[in-house]
Structure 1
């Protein structure tokens, strides 16, 4: 095993790790917010909202993430420059980068999976707690904010942790749209040095470390907020 290359490539490795973590955080945060709306649309929305939410979740859960990413990057991405004025806009430096399309694709995909998790959790909240909230005069928004959504998130915490780990393992796909994440750096190291196993081992250890960190964080949260029976 040879690891002398780490001294030369450590700035790239750090930048790749940053890109990986940034993709994970962006997609999880914004995907979770979108998933809340999708879940409530299925549980308590009207027929139109419910069917649109189901169609969204079915599409993004039923197609490979790689295809979704390529459709955005090679499809939408190739059409953006044709829009008048887009190249001169302040958004062009962002829109021309593969990172933007990877973040959007990962966010939309994560939201679809998380929406199904939250939908089940919302339905699992005891109806007696919701009725008690209504009985004391809570408005629908207050009921959601103080009882329904917090209880649903607590119920779904173990599954949410698992979904975040799965999302982490999806980030190397960003390499296919020119994003220099950690896997892309490992691929460059392999091309430059002809070393195969050592760069992949470094990437593996990084992902294992992040997985352990995510798991420990969620276990700590679960211990601090026990479920009330």
Structure 2
């Protein structure tokens, strides 16, 4: 193994790394925006709301991402009305096709992750919000979603890492992201071992950054939850002490 070649290849993969980070970041953001309302529909008891979302998540989680990518990139061009519409301006570009496929796939998994978080919110918290007169929109925004996101965060962090690794499939539709750039350099240097080790090191570095960010965010939420719990316990202790305080003789009750 040529260590110097590994170090020399790392700067050559910079452009591919930037494209990988861009594709992954935008896919995650779009997927999260799509998944947020779909997760609420998925937990609804109305058939017309949760059944379409159930079918959507089943299809996208039950088929390979590579097949979905090929259907968007190659399949869209086979439909005449798409080729003659304004959508063809977007669907003929490999970057936008990869972004659409990755966003829809990520949204399907994120929807199910958030659904699990929403289902795990304590029933008493929801009932307390109803007792306070909160509307559905208000208690969803103030009670349900914050607790659900906190509960679903570890699983969502894993999904983000998986999305990063899945972005390597974009090289199959001529995108020169990190894996595509590595394959191009391999064709020039005939050194696949060193080049792909360099690419793997970059993937590991990005994964380390993602894991560190989510771990720090989880610790922040845990501190916030612990602080609120301590405040609630202290208030409860004060109320209990007040209730149990003995009444002095001759005192007038209020």
- TM-score norm. by structure 1 comes to 0.90
Q: 2:153 aligns with which of 141, 157, 163?
A: 157
Equivalent-residue separation in structure 1 for 2:26 and 2:81 (angstroms): 25
1:20-59 correspondence runs (5 A): 20-44=20-44, 46-59=46-59
The secondary structure found in structure 2 opposite 1:125 is coil
Equivalent-residue separation in structure 2 for 1:109 and 1:188 (angstroms): 27
Change (3 A) 1:114 1:201: same
Superposed CA RMSD: 2.2
Change (3 A) 1:131 1:59: same
Equivalent-residue separation in structure 1 for 2:68 and 2:16 (angstroms): 22
Count of residue correspondences: 224
Q: 1:102 aligns with which of 98, 101, 111?
A: 98
Map of 1:65 onto structure 2: 65
Instruction: List runs of 5+ in structure 1 lacking aligned partners.
Output: none
| 1:30–1:107 CA contact under 8 A, matched in 2 | yes
Equivalent-residue separation in structure 2 for 1:203 and 1:80 (angstroms): 39
Deviation at 1:134, TM superposition (A): 1.8
Equivalent-residue separation in structure 1 for 2:201 and 2:81 (angstroms): 39
Equivalent-residue separation in structure 1 for 2:187 and 2:128 (angstroms): 63
Change (3 A) 1:69 1:216: same
Map of 2:200 onto structure 1: 204
Deviation at 1:78, TM superposition (A): 4.3
Higher-Rg structure is 2
Structure 1, residues 94-127: CA drift from partner, whole Å, max 9, x if none?
4422010101101111111111111111010011
The secondary structure found in structure 1 opposite 2:43 is helix
Q: Which runs of 4+ in 1 moved over 3 A?
A: 2-10, 77-86
Map of 2:13 onto structure 1: 13
Map of 1:170 onto structure 2: 166
Equivalent-residue separation in structure 1 for 2:17 and 2:220 (angstroms): 30
Map of 1:191 onto structure 2: 187
| 1:3–1:198 CA contact under 8 A, matched in 2 | no
Deviation at 1:18, TM superposition (A): 1.1
1:65-144 correspondence runs (5 A): 65-79=65-79, 83-84=83-84, 86=86, 92=89, 94-144=90-140
| 2:77–2:83 CA contact under 8 A, matched in 1 | no
Instruction: List runs of 5+ in structure 2 lacking aligned partners.
Output: 230-254
